[in-house]
Structure formats: structure tokens, C-alpha cells
Chain A
Amino acid sequence: MTTKTITSSLYDWVDERLGLSDLAAFARHKTVPTHSQSFWYYWGGISLFLFILQCFTGVLLLVYYRPGAEAYESVRQITFVMNFGWLIRSAHAWAANLMMFSILVHMFSVFFMKAYRKPREFGWLSGMALLGLASVFGFSGYLLPMDELSYFATKVGLQIPVAIPWIGPAIANMLRGGPDVTEFTVQRFFALHVVVLPALFVPLLAFHLWLVQRYGNAVPPAEESKPAAERRSIPFMPNFLRKDVAMWIISLNILALMASVFPWALGKQYDSLVPAPAGIHPEWYFMSPFEMLKLLGTVLPGEAGEIAGILLFTLGIVLWILIPFYDTSKESGRRGRAAHYFGLLAIFALVATTAIGYWTIR
């Protein structure tokens, strides 16, 4: 028997049992629409790729990281003692930021392509849930090194739920594991970051991808209004996948460049007796809500401002999540336009408050 006959008989054996050729036939028939806005189709795939990288680098960090009282010492070891530990840690931190960025790009492109309309409402809702989980990933991961910055960021961040009337303080204490941020906090954030969140995120992501597969890519309204004969598409295998992979390699190269040229810093070990360092500010993806709360605090000082800020922010997010039920189909007309302006307003508010936030760092 030649190698070729061995390979083909092995393939036949597996195929007979797992139905590989059905899968291959299915992949051959899958197509992706192509038009002037096709570029935005890659951002979901980039987010997915960065999430997979987070799993890999996260497991590598897990090899040496120790939560609890030794957290800072173990991160110091990873950064300064283990070979290339600084690079692995830096890649994990940078990929988190790049993933947040690509998820936001993906979300806004879906929004403006109106890809949340019927029958894709669950795609939008599951995507928003994934964004929420990604933010909690970012917030909980930020504490794990237990340096000065992570200590104060967590302290401030967990102070926000305190403003919720009656139950606020109890929620904050439950999240912190006590009245202050301590090694108990890092221990439970660790459990959240490496067990609870992945256990929620992965099935939700599978659901999200299954929906994309089921309904295919949505086309923007301008493309949708064209007659079917004028719309063009390309095969998923191999044409679209090839471009997808190219995007992943570009992302990986950008990540490698950022992680090695701008290695993630490790501050001093936290000490609750040392005052907060000057110029301390949240990560860029939390800058906007932080600044909105701050701005509202100058208009409405005190507790009233805090509660109003949280209410306003929650209202904005709820409206954003419910957009598929307001702008339901291409017959939406005026509502469709209103949704479009709402999206522009959201981008303007995010960019402006982020810019003001960085502008006013002291």
C-alpha cells in the first residue's frame, strides 16, 4: 500500500464514523456576502482570536501565579525571574486591551449595519452579554497583580455599587470579601477570573457563533436594498477563511510588537497606608463611565449626583441593549434613522468623555 492509499483508507474509516465529508460539503456551500463594508466582518473573528490567545497566555500565567497573600510576589517572580515571563504577562495584558477594542469595533459595526434586526436579536443580546462578561474579566484581572494601581482601581470600582440605595454596601462587601480590598478580595477575584467567567463566557460564545452560522452575515441597509442579482458573495472555504486568518496573523503581529516594545509595568506592592499615587486613572475602556460620573458629580454634588449618574448610565445601557426591539426591521423607517443617530450620539459621548477624562488627569 502506498502512503496515498493508507491516508485515504484512514480518511474513509474516520469519515464513515464522524461524517467528515458532510462537514466538508457543508463548508463548501457556506458563503459570505461581499461589498464595500465587508471589512467590518473581520472584527468578530479578531475578537474571537484574541480570546483564544487570552486562554493560552492565561493558562501560562496560571502555571506560576499564586492568588492570596503571595499574589504580588508571584507576579514579581513571573515578571523578573522566569524566562520570558514578562513577555507572557505583557501579551496577556495587551491582548485584553486589544480584545476590548475589537469587541467595541465589532459592536458598533453591527449597530450601524443594523445587524441586530429580525431574526438576529439573540445575536445582539448574547453579544452584549459577552461584552459585559469581558468587562468583568478586565476588571477582575486588573486586581490580580495586587500592585498599587490594581489596589486603588478595585477600591474605587467597588465603591460604585455602594451608591445603590439600601443593598449597595452589602453587594460591595460581598464582592470584596470584607469592608476593604485585601488578599480575600484577590482570592475571590481569581476564582471569578479563571473559573466562573470562562464557564459563563465559553458556552455563551458558542451560542453567539452558532447564531452567526445559522443566520449568516447581515448586510448593511444600502446593500440590502439592491436587487438580489446585484449582491455578490464569496465562498467561506477557503476565500473568507483565508482573509480571516490573515487578519489573525496581523493581530498577532501587532500584539507581539506591543507586548515586547511596551512591556506591561508592575508597580509597587499595594500598601493600604500609602496614599493613592498622583495621576491614577481607570483603564481606557472604563474611562468614559468614570468621567460621566465625575461630570455629573460637579452638576449634582454628593450622593444625589452619584445615584443620578448610575441611573442615567444604566438607562443608556438598557436602551442600547433593547435597540433590536425598537428598530425591528428594514421597514422601520423613522425609527431606523433614530437608532442611527442614537449610535452616533453614543460614539460621541464615549469619545468625548474619554478624551475629557485623559485631558483632566492630574
Chain B
Amino acid sequence: MSDLTHSATFVPEIPEEQGERNTRRAFLAAAGAAGICYAAALAYPVYRYLASPSEMALSATAVTEVTLKDAQKLPAGSVLMFKFGTAPAMLIHHENGQWIALSAVCSHLGCTVQYEPEADRIHCACHGGVYNAYTGANVSGPPPRPLRLFKTAISDTGVEVSRA
């Protein structure tokens, strides 16, 4: 009996109050960690659920080429808007016979840009950005970067647009 009491009192050699504080702290830490795990287990499915469309869009942007059926019939001096992955893009058939495919997303704040055949330029109506219709270079206005240029291959059945 005396041995038992001895061994029992032996463990908390540290002053009792401090030992109590240690177990209390350990308990609170464990409870906090369990709570965080619990909350994370609830939040994860909700996050993935809400993120579904952006995950789907991500797999769509992995697209490296798009075939535009019958686009070779596009008359000179006109434009065809299409989607490259999820983002809008434009195929321009210039008067001189040149075929140009560009991203149609303004590098400034993401509006969809417009080809103006009479001025032979690309214009963004949102903030007046202007791009070169042959190279996509940002010519004037706020756009910080050029429009992305795609490669084009013309065939009898359509136009194939691919990443440069």
C-alpha cells in the first residue's frame, strides 16, 4: 500500500498545479487539433463541390488544337469568333489572303475584343485598347501585353488552330 502511494506521488514531482496545467494544455491542444480536422473534413467536400466548374474548365484549357469545320470558306476581310478551350478566340481572313488566329481576350481586364475590318485593327470597347490585327501586338491604350497568336493550317475541310 505504501509502495503504491509512493509510486503514485512519485510521478508528479513537478508541483501539482503545474502538472495539472500541462495535462489541461495537452487536452486543449488535442481537442483543438481534432476540431480543426473535423472542420477540414466538412470544408473539403464543400470546396471541391464549388470548385467543380473551374476544375472542368482547367481540363478544357488543356486543349492544344481546335478544328474549325468549313472555316476555309470564310470570305476575305471577315472574322470568325470561336472558343479555344473555354476562352474566346478569333480567326481573321485578311484582304491580302493572310489567315491569323488570335486569342480574343483583352490583356488589360479580360473583355472580348473586336476585329474592325475598315480600320484593319483589333479594338477593345471596354477601355479603348488597340492591337495589331496581324501580330496581336498591343498598339495603343491600356493593354500591357499582346494578344496570344495561334498557328493556323488551312485545308479543304476546315481550319486547324493550334498553340504556337
Contacts and interface: CB of A to CB of B under 8 A. Distances in A.
B5 interface: no
B130 to A, nearest CB: 38
Contact count band on A: under 10
Interface string B35-63: 00000000001101111100100000000
Contacts of B50: 60, 63
Interface in A70-89: 81-85, 87-88
Contacts of A84: 45-46, 48-49
A81 B49 contact: no
A228 to B, nearest CB: 37
A85 B56 CA distance: 14
A63 B54 CA distance: 14
A231 B104 CA distance: 77
A87 B45 contact: yes
B34 to A, nearest CB: 11
Interface in A45-65: 60, 63
Of the listed residues A83, A85, A88, the one surrounded by the most CB atoms of chain B closer than 10 A to its CB is A83
Nearest to B45: A84
A144 B22 CA distance: 54
A81 B49 CA distance: 10
Residue of B49, B51, B52, B55 with most chain A CB atoms under a 10 A cut-off: B49
Contacts of A88: 45-46, 49
B46 A85 contact: no
**By DSSP majority rule, is chain A's interface helix, strand, loop, or mixed?**
loop
Q: Which of A60, A82, A87, A88 has the largest count of B CB atoms less than 10 A from its CB?
A: A82
A60 B52 contact: no
Nearest to A56: B46
Contact of A60 (B46, B51, B55): B46
A81 B45 CA distance: 14
A86 to B, nearest CB: 10
Nearest to B38: A249
B56 to A, nearest CB: 8
A81 B59 CA distance: 14
Nearest to A85: B49
A63 B46 CA distance: 12
A83 B54 CA distance: 11
B59 to A, nearest CB: 12
Contacts of A87: 45, 49
Contacts of A82: 49, 52
Contacts of B51: 83
Nearest to A83: B48
A60 B51 CA distance: 12
B105 to A, nearest CB: 25
Contacts of A85: 49, 52
Contacts of B55: 83
A349 B51 CA distance: 48
A87 to B, nearest CB: 5
A87 B44 CA distance: 12
Interface string B62-90: 00000000000000000000000000000
A63 B50 CA distance: 8
A85 B52 CA distance: 9
Contacts of A63: 49-50
Interface in A217-275: none
A82 B50 CA distance: 8
A112 B49 CA distance: 43
Interface string A162-205: 00000000000000000000000000000000000000000000
Nearest to B49: A84
Contacts of B46: 60, 84, 88
A88 B49 CA distance: 8
A44 B94 CA distance: 72
A338 B55 CA distance: 63
A32 to B, nearest CB: 24
A85 B51 CA distance: 11
B66 to A, nearest CB: 23
Nearest to A84: B45
Nearest to A77: B52
25 contacts: A60-B46, A60-B49, A60-B50, A63-B49, A63-B50, A81-B52, A82-B49, A82-B52, A83-B45, A83-B48, A83-B49, A83-B51, A83-B52, A83-B55, A84-B45, A84-B46, A84-B48, A84-B49, A85-B49, A85-B52, A87-B45, A87-B49, A88-B45, A88-B46, A88-B49
Given A60-B46, A83-B55, 4 more contacts: A81-B52, A84-B48, A88-B45, A88-B49
The 9 closest A-B pairs by CB, nearest first: A84-B45, A83-B48, A82-B52, A84-B49, A83-B52, A84-B48, A87-B45, A83-B49, A88-B49
